[in-house]
């Protein structure tokens, strides 16, 4: 298929620069088409997608089964409020129940990661009747005012202060620091099982277990933010690897392969504390969103993409380590959520990769983040390693 952009590149750039708020540091290319693991720009140049729109497009781009299911749903019923029952929503809830951590039997459907976190924080307050939240340093939980209160980076917070929720940020993976702040006034401790934006830092099992024990002891909620970690660490939900079950789990991104969605899972006890009508959303749980999520979850299971992510992720980490690049300090991650911490700022490496036809992400200032579609094959891993070796200056054969 050839690539035909609606407008010329300089026209696209001019219009976006003139009409959008200047909030995003734009890369200079315009993406106009995707096919499986690849993206194409307006000039017809092909890129290996190692970012899947910040972890969203798990089935890659223009997946025929996904496109057919959404087209069918568009031709049947796209929008509908949750005050009516829906066949597609019910079918999705059955699939969610199959993968939900034990005891998280109730689902709230919304439209984004921040919304799924916002709901989690509200539910924690309603369920405990307590005000305070404990989050980790470097945590990223989204940009709505509640979620932003839990997000740590001053770059996101400062323009909007004072923020509405009282949140204490403590060092990540530090049990003593957590013990020092969780008390009888704590409504929730919120944790990313693998910190994403911060630089791909996995939480230790002992840390998650300590958070579980402390929250239980103080009758507070443990919230797992799986907006970025879900579906790509080799299992549906990364926290389950530690044997810890949260009271509330929020996810979004990959769940509907690019259709906007948010999901907050809670226990029966939390659900029972929510008064009818106390929370809601117009778009959330629409037949179209539910069909997108249903198709994605079915594909992840039927195509064996959980196990495959784990296998490919291990392969990628080994091969990056084998490059022995003088620029790499450490490679971290699980499944297809990988961080390469550099000894220098990451921006030139990202630019270099783009020039070599690979789109990747930063995480913090020093880490290169890989969140590829889960449909990658060995061929895509080879392409990635070859581009990385050119940009980072290592060589597999020297390892």
Ligand X SMILES: Cc1ncc(COP(=O)(O)O)c(C=O)c1O
Q: Give the ranges where the chain is alpha helix by DSSP (H).
A: 9-19, 52-55, 64-74, 87-99, 113-128, 145-150, 154-157, 175-181, 205-217, 268-272, 287-302, 305-323, 347-355, 378-392
Check binding of 113 to ligand X (CB under 6 A): yes
Taking CB atoms, the residue at the shortest distance from ligand X is 113
Using the minimum distance from each CB to ligand X, give the nearer residue, 37 or 146: 146
Residue holding tokens 């989204």? Answer: 142
CB of 284 to ligand X, least distance (A): 13
User: Per CB under 6 A, does 225 bind ligand X?
Assistant: yes
228 contacts ligand X (rule: CB under 6 A): yes
Q: Which is nearer to ligand X, 252 or 391 (CB)?
A: 252
Distance from C-alpha of 372 to C-alpha of 374, rounded to nearest angstrom: 6
Q: Please give the Cα distance from 282 to 217 (Å, whole number).
A: 37
CA distance 362 to 60: 20
Shortest CB 297 distance to ligand X, Å = 18
112 sits near ligand X (criterion: CB under 6 A): yes
Least spacing, CB of residue 2 vs ligand X, in Å: 32
| 3 state SS of 304 | coil
CB closer to ligand X out of 222 and 388: 222
Is residue 310 classed as helix, strand or coil in its secondary structure?
helix
Cβ at position 83, least distance to ligand X in Å: 25
Q: Is 168 exposed, middle or buried (0-12, 13-18, 19+ CB in 10 A)?
A: middle
String of contacts with ligand X for each residue 257-286, x by CB under 6 A: ------------------------------
The first and second tokens of residue 339, run together, are 């961080």
Q: Given candidates 96, 127, 223, 252, which one binds ligand X under the rule CB under 6 A?
A: 252
Q: Is 227 in the site for ligand X (CB under 6 A)?
A: yes
For residue 46, the tally of other CB atoms under 10 A from its CB is: 13
Query: Longest C-alpha distance within the chain, in Å?
Result: 63
Q: Which stretch binds ligand X (CB under 6 A): 112-120, 162-170, 178-186, 321-329?
A: 112-120
Nearer Cβ to ligand X, position 93 or 114? 114
Q: Is 196 in the site for ligand X (CB under 6 A)?
A: yes
Binding ligand X (rule: CB under 6 A), the pick from 142, 193, 333, 372 is 142
Please report the sign of the dihedral spanned by the C-alpha atoms of residue 309, residue 314, residue 316, residue 317.
positive
When asked if residue 118 is in the footprint of ligand X (CB under 6 A), the reply is no
Residues in contact with ligand X by the rule CB under 6 A: 54, 112-114, 117, 140-142, 192, 196-197, 225, 227-228, 252
């Amino acid at each position: 298929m050839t690539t035909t952009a609606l407008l010329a590149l300089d026209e696209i750039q001019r219009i976006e620069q003139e009409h959008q708020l200047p909030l995003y540091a734009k890369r200079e290319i315009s993406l106009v088409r995707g096919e499986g693991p690849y993206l194409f720009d307006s000039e017809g140049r092909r890129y290996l997608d190692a970012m899947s729109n910040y972890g969203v497009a798990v089935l890659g781009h223009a997946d025929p089964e996904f496109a057919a299911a959404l087209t069918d749903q568009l031709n049947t019923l796209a929008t509908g409020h949750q005050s009516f029952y829906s066949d597609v929503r019910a079918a999705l809830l059955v699939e969610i129940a199959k993968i939900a951590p034990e005891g998280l039997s109730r689902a709230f459907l919304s439209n984004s990661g921040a919304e799924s976190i916002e709901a989690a924080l509200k539910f924690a307050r309603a369920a405990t009747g307590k005000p305070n939240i404990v989050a980790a340093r470097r945590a990223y939980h989204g940009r709505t005012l509640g979620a932003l209160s839990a997000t740590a980076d001053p770059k996101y917070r400062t323009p909007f202060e004072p923020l509405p929720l009282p949140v204490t940020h403590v060092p990540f993976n530090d049990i003593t620091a957590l013990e020092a702040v969780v008390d009888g006034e704590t409504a929730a401790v919120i944790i990313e099982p693998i910190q994403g934006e911060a630089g791909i830092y996995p939480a230790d099992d002992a840390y998650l277990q300590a958070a579980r024990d402390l929250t239980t002891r103080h009758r507070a909620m443990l919230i797992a933010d799986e907006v970025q970690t879900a579906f790509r660490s080799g299992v549906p939900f990364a926290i389950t690897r530690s044997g810890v079950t949260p009271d509330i789990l929020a996810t979004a991104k990959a769940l509907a392969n690019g259709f906007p969605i948010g999901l907050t899972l809670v226990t029966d006890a939390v659900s029972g504390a929510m008064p009818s009508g106390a929370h809601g959303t117009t778009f959330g749980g629409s037949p179209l969103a539910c069909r997108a999520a249903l198709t994605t979850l079915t594909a992840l299971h039927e195509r064996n993409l959980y196990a495959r992510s784990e296998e490919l992720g291990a392969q990628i980490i080994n091969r990056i380590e084998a490059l022995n690049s003088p620029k790499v300090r450490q490679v971290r991650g699980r499944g297809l959520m990988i961080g390469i911490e550099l000894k220098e700022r990451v921006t030139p490496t990202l630019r270099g990769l783009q020039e070599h036809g690979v789109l990747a992400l930063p995480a913090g200032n020093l880490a290169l983040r890989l969140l590829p579609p889960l449909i990658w094959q060995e061929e895509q891993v080879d392409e990635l390693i070859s581009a990385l070796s050119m940009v980072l200056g290592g060589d597999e054969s020297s390892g």
